[in-house]
Amino acid sequence: MGALFRVGNEWAVFVVRHNRTRMVQVKLGHRNDNDAEVMEGLKEGDRVILYPGDRIDDGVSVSERLVTRGI
């Protein structure tokens, strides 16, 4: 759910392809407050951006960052 946002009446996510963002419309199945079933729009291995902020738009150059957690 953290990757989804509305575009009009449709749902979309930002995926990263070749270090650039691409907005992809998705069709949802079952969903609740925590999870959503994506029925169409993504393919296996797609990397999505969680909680995209105001600076993310279609075609923006991005780089992956490593997040580590202490034990």
pLDDT in tens, 13-64: 999 999 999 999 999 999 999 999 999 999 999 999 999 988 899 999 988 7
For the whole model, what pTM was predicted? 0.83
Boundaries of every domain in the chain = 5-48
Report the 10 Å Cβ neighbour count for 70. Answer: 3
Task: Look up residue 55 and give its DSSP letter.
Answer: T
b/e for 19-52, b at 16 or more Cβ within 10 A? eebeebebeeeeeeeeebebeebbeeeeebbeeb
